[in-house]
Amino acid sequence: MSSIRKIAITGPESTGKSMLTRDLAAHFHTTFVAEYAREYIASLDRPYNQNDILEIAMGQLSNEHRLEKTASEIFFCDTELIVTKIWSEVRYGSCNPWILENIFAGDYDLYLLCYIDLPWEADPQREHPHMRQELFNLYHEELKKRELPFAIVRGLDGERLDNAIQAIRSHGLIP
């Protein structure tokens, strides 16, 4: 196992994953990997398709492996391949086998599952404002089914960050 502790921030859209990732990295004075899907989709001059989700998954892992080398003791990942799996299955009814085969490539020490208690923020890249509970349940079930270490993170404003820090501590990843 790497001496770097890796934490994946996961969950449905508009649950504060990106902000939480940045805030955690700042709090722990380390680096993080941003969500590659936003950058990728913004660069398209057409609607995305299922093949793009595979490209996004590959790009996310590539960026993660590159940036992990710059981390101190802990490294935060804004999304991971469970996100692309659920996204693909919800949108297209299936998932590319490469994503399924590489879903554990990140080797995370902990998943922070962001709860849907934040207000929905409309965004051209967001698609499912009325499926928040259903999507959260899919993430929750996926993490439980795979027996992955996770904590649900709730709270508004600074409370969410405090709860995430407490979850990291309670899993023994920092003193």
**Rounded to two decimals, what is the model's pTM?**
0.94
Q: Using 70 as the pLDDT threshold, list the residues of the chain that sit under it.
A: 1-2, 175
Q: Which among 87, 4, 2 is positioned nearest to 41, based on CA atoms?
A: 87
What pLDDT was estimated at residue 105?
A: 81
Determine contact, residues 24/161, Cβ cutoff 8 Å: yes
Chain segment 14-38, per-residue pLDDT in tens: 999 999 999 999 999 999 999 999 9
Cα distance between the two ends of the chain: 19
C-alpha 35/C-alpha 21 separation (Å) is 10
Structural tokens at position 102 = 């590489």
